[in-house]
Amino acid sequence: MTRHDTVSLPTGTVPARFRPPTGSSDAASVSLDGAWRFRLFPTPETGADPADRGDGWDTIEVPGHWQLAGAPDAWPYGTPAYSNVLYPFPVEPPFVPDANPTGEYRRTFELPEGWTTGGRAYLRFEGVDSWFEVSLNGTPIATSHGSRLPTEIDITDVAVPGENLLAVRVTQWSALSYVEDQDQWWLSGIFRSVTLEHRPEAGVAHARVLAGFDPLTGTGSLTVDVEGPTGARVTVPELGIDVAAGETATANVEPWSAERPRLYDVIVTAPGETITLRAGFRTVSIEDGVFLVNGAPVKLRGVNRHEFDPLRGRAVTTERMLEDVLLMKRHNVNAVRTSHYPPHPHFLDLCDEHGLYVVDENDLETHGFIDGGWTGNPVDDPAWEEVLVDRVTRTVRRDAHHPSIILWSLGNEAGSGRNVSAMAAAVRALDPTRPVHYEGDWSSDDVDVYSRMYATSEETELIGQGIEAPLARAEADARRRQMPFVQCEYAHAMGNGPGGLGDYDAIFDRYPRLMGGFIWEWIDHGLTRRDADGTEFAAYGGDFGEAFHDGTFIADGLVLPDRTPAPSLIEVAAVFAPVRIDEVGGGDALLVRNRYAFRDTSHLTFEWTLHHGDDVLSSGTLDDLRLAPGEETLVRPPTDLPLPTADHTPTWWTLRAVQHTADALDEPWFDDAAGPFVVSTGQVAVTLAVTQPVATGRAHQAVDGTVTVGHARFDARGTLIELHGRPVAELRVDAWRAPTDNDRREGSWTDLSDESVWKESGLHLLAERKISAEITDDGAFVVTARTAGPRTRNGFRAVYTWRPVADGSDDVDLHVSILPEGRWGQSIARLGVLLVLDEPAADDVEVRWHGLGPEESYSDSRVAAVGGSYVHTVRELQTRYTHPQENGARRGVTHAALRFPDGSDLVLDANPSRVGGRSVTGVELSLRPWSDAALDAAAHPHDLVPDGRLWMHLDAAQHGLGSAACGPGVLPNARLRATTAEVSVRFASRQG
């Protein structure tokens, strides 16, 4: 037996075969999942006898991680720890620390009668993290590793009739930890299923499925190689195929694609065993540098998915897997990269069935070697070759029968070197039908597609045109230029973001060479923790007291840990929509584009409504609109529409592409019960909100110097102290926000983070100094002020002009003009006014608003925002990001009626704002029951407590989001720089 700290192949295991999954065979099997005896020891030298049954030990659930055995309340066996790149132990491969928590597992099983006489008995482990030794009836029989890979052990000769004692020793750290340095929680144990399997005599030892499709003839071809007995047959009843194993059969078939995931039952019958596989006919190819599925160019609109459950870690349930797949399908995701290891095999079954293109990634990452210039990287060390080749071949052999897999990936962030070539060669030898992917070597010597992560949109555009910077080696450069390009990671969805997704998507569409990409990442890996007082929260790095960790960087998903879609997933659905409806032509037409590769739009109805706020004025369907794959057309609103009198609410003509029913065979993901599925929405404003007529009333000054403007009351210095009977805590210009995770990092193209630039100008500590306050001859109350932070000469001069709408009216108009003074950096966070009102129950304030919604949106994340009328409480307007930060902005707001818990109302109507001379619709409205400073200071959502005030931002503009947490910052088209701005709002009251 080998030790955990050696670089050597598994011992005592069965060499990997093309072995279809456990459930596909009619041979008997017994699940060994459930309660096992367990003890945790501080080192691998546990002293525990493999013959010890573990009576009196604890019990633990298999599959599971020992660190999460008591989650969310207790951590009896050590805690999870999060590190991204660097190893949490000294780098001295293959050695790992002596302090190496080691779990001893025990359970007994009954060997079913006849298993070892008529055939053989196998133990199959689907995943054990990280190194393990298996003993049966007191005798060590195998050691293995490859945490996310299966291990099979033939126990026929050691198993006894009746009861058998199975002992498994699992170390947390091993030599193999050096090649499993993925950006995730370190979690150990038997975390996937364990099965006892019968392999009958004359059964199927190996079945390799090749199912291709020729788009020119519509012919599918099927070859199933079988190892084992002679005389095995392959049948596909639906196609009338019945051939000997190894023979190629052809038939007219419906091909498999993510759009139409057509599967056929392929039955492999050997004398001793029958295996039923679900096969799909499809061919992946690269022609003229373009990536094709079944002969058609396909764009991958994908996500990176780690396996994760907030209570169970990587021991995900089949329900969670299905939830992920359905959420992806319902948000127009068509591809998934299994970052950064082969997923649970059932996940791939679901991708086959529901239709997702998969990049299946090998269990390999050595990123920590980057600290030291990749010296000693296993990927370039001959001593590691057979271990790494073993891993990738086990991946291919386990998964090759899945039609959903369109690329093999050799691993992630493992540098470059000789073993990349060895792995690529091994993959090609096993499966020549799929291109090979690996991002870690930009020269792309060993791969078939050029892959990068977080390339900026500018660079992506150059690559799209084939004019990217050349490689030093001419032949490598020439070869790479012939390859399609994929962003295996882009658009980092950490916290509030990513911004700029729509920009990337447009570039992918523009150039045939670009095959799309995979957003980083699908799930926020916040682990549920319940504190003594019962408060549950999503924990990130450091929350378990880790001394060495990477903090919030683990919280970067499109779905929150409990699978609540973050606003970014709503944006993804709109950007990735296979049928896009976009405003063009100066805003009077919609371009409808069918971006399916294989489907026309006949399964969709195009439904339009003409609506003014909530009021639907008329509606209809565009019955003649039917687009072939790749086709597009311009659509205009009918000209004879009954338009209402223009007021503060725009009138929208909104067109939706809606799927009402599943296309029975192909769309098991479609849920009739969930109602119609809106694939895409686009709209044009047929009438804009009108600008309020100019106010004509006059302000009044009392003898004590206080000023009254309608319902607004000021002290003698011009400080607003009351609005509509409600005490005002503050009114001033604001230019800061609680930095997002993206704001906090410098990104790939700036030297400074936005946050640091804002701090430099003191934006986080702005305060106002009044300069003057006077009633002008024409009756307006004009207050001038300067708002600035400490130590800087930078600041904003503001002129507030107040006026009652008419004499005797309570309603008030406020016009604010803002002029930046000083020398400003690359960006500011926002430009507008902050109004803080006393309100003890601010989160219960309800706001009915007209604008772009219903979710938050930002200038570079707004494709999903639809003009309309929405109602939210202030509580509902907050997005509970795992790590609190700026959130909740609603853009293009022309009208907002706030109803306070006491029944009073405050109604705001916004005229167009101006930013740097440009007019924009309404204001960007944010409402919070706490300050931005509190939001910034909070480590977790439950730290945020309403402070008795309603914090309201009325902004002319806000800075975009970008993707600087990992990748480029905010693009110039969404960057807010210090500039002149104007905000103009009418405050009216209504009693409820």
- Residue ranges in contact with ligand GAL by CB under 6 A: 84, 183, 340, 412-413, 453, 489, 492, 520, 553, 556, 966
Taking the complex as a whole, the smallest distance from the CB of residue 439 to ligand GAL amounts, in Å, to 8
What is the Cα–Cα distance from 281 to 257, expressed in whole angstroms? 9
Taking the complex as a whole, the smallest distance from the CB of residue 149 to ligand GAL amounts, in Å, to 19
Taking the complex as a whole, the smallest distance from the CB of residue 404 to ligand GAL amounts, in Å, to 22
Taking the complex as a whole, the smallest distance from the CB of residue 84 to ligand GAL amounts, in Å, to 5
Catalytic site residue from 273, 489, 855, 886: 489
808 class by beta-carbon count within 10 Å (0-12 exposed, 13-18 middle, 19+ buried): exposed
Comparison of 122 and 520: residue with beta carbon closer to ligand GAL? 520
| Catalytic annotation present for 489 | yes
Comparison of 407 and 453: residue with beta carbon closer to ligand GAL? 453
Beta 151-154 vs 120-125: how paired, if at all? antiparallel
Distances (CA, A) of 269 to 198, 210, 221, 265, 616: 16, 17, 19, 12, 61
Taking the complex as a whole, the smallest distance from the CB of residue 316 to ligand GAL amounts, in Å, to 18
What is the Cα–Cα distance from 209 to 223, expressed in whole angstroms? 6
Taking the complex as a whole, the smallest distance from the CB of residue 951 to ligand GAL amounts, in Å, to 31
Comparison of 164 and 753: residue with beta carbon closer to ligand GAL? 753
Q: Is 194 helix (H, G, I), strand (E, B) or coil?
A: strand
Instruction: Check if the beta carbon of residue 529 is closer than 8 Å to that of residue 941.
Output: no
Comparison of 22 and 84: residue with beta carbon closer to ligand GAL? 84
Comparison of 46 and 84: residue with beta carbon closer to ligand GAL? 84
Taking the complex as a whole, the smallest distance from the CB of residue 713 to ligand GAL amounts, in Å, to 51
Q: State the Cα angle at 128 between 44 and 432, rounded to 5°.
A: 130
Comparison of 190 and 494: residue with beta carbon closer to ligand GAL? 494
Distances (CA, A) of 86 to 91, 183, 372: 9, 9, 11
Taking the complex as a whole, the smallest distance from the CB of residue 966 to ligand GAL amounts, in Å, to 4
Q: Is 427 helix (H, G, I), strand (E, B) or coil?
A: helix
Q: How many CB atoms lie within 10 A of CB 951?
A: 25
Catalytic site residue from 413, 461, 855, 924: 413
CA 421, 422, 424, 428 torsion: positive or negative? Answer: positive
479 class by beta-carbon count within 10 Å (0-12 exposed, 13-18 middle, 19+ buried): middle
C-alpha R_g of the chain: 31
Q: Give the contacts of 488 (CB within 8 A, at least 6 positions apart).
A: 304, 337, 359, 409, 412, 437, 439, 451, 452, 453, 517, 518
Comparison of 180 and 556: residue with beta carbon closer to ligand GAL? 556
Taking the complex as a whole, the smallest distance from the CB of residue 492 to ligand GAL amounts, in Å, to 6
Identity of the amino acid at 562: D
Comparison of 329 and 452: residue with beta carbon closer to ligand GAL? 452
Taking the complex as a whole, the smallest distance from the CB of residue 535 to ligand GAL amounts, in Å, to 27
Comparison of 357 and 520: residue with beta carbon closer to ligand GAL? 520
Comparison of 368 and 888: residue with beta carbon closer to ligand GAL? 368
Q: Is 588 helix (H, G, I), strand (E, B) or coil?
A: coil
Three-state helix/strand/coil letters over 18-84:
CCCCHHHECCCEEECCEEEEEEEECCCCCCCCCCCCCCCCEEEEECCCHHHCCCCCCCECECCEEEC
What is the residue-wise DSSP string for 553-568? GG---SB-TT-PBPHH
Q: Is 589 helix (H, G, I), strand (E, B) or coil?
A: strand
Comparison of 269 and 742: residue with beta carbon closer to ligand GAL? 742
Comparison of 407 and 837: residue with beta carbon closer to ligand GAL? 407
Instruction: Check if the beta carbon of residue 779 is closer than 8 Å to that of residue 803.
Output: yes
Taking the complex as a whole, the smallest distance from the CB of residue 520 to ligand GAL amounts, in Å, to 5
By Cβ distance, which residue is nearest to ligand GAL?
Answer: 183
Whats the size of the chain, residue-wise?
Answer: 992
| Catalytic annotation present for 774 | no
Q: Give the contacts of 362 (CB within 8 A, at least 6 positions apart).
A: 341, 342, 391, 392, 395, 408, 409, 410, 411, 423
715 class by beta-carbon count within 10 Å (0-12 exposed, 13-18 middle, 19+ buried): middle
What is the residue-wise DSSP string for 263-305? -EEEEEEETTEEEEEEE----EEEETTEEEETTEE--EEEEE-
Taking the complex as a whole, the smallest distance from the CB of residue 412 to ligand GAL amounts, in Å, to 5
Helix (H) or strand (E) holding 504, with range, is helix 501-510
Q: Give the contacts of 550 (CB within 8 A, at least 6 positions apart).
A: 82, 83, 84, 85, 183, 541
586 DSSP assignment: G
Q: How many CB atoms lie within 10 A of CB 62?
A: 24
Residue with tokens 């764009």: 299
What is the Cα–Cα distance from 990 to 811, expressed in whole angstroms? 10
| Active-site annotation, residues | 413, 489
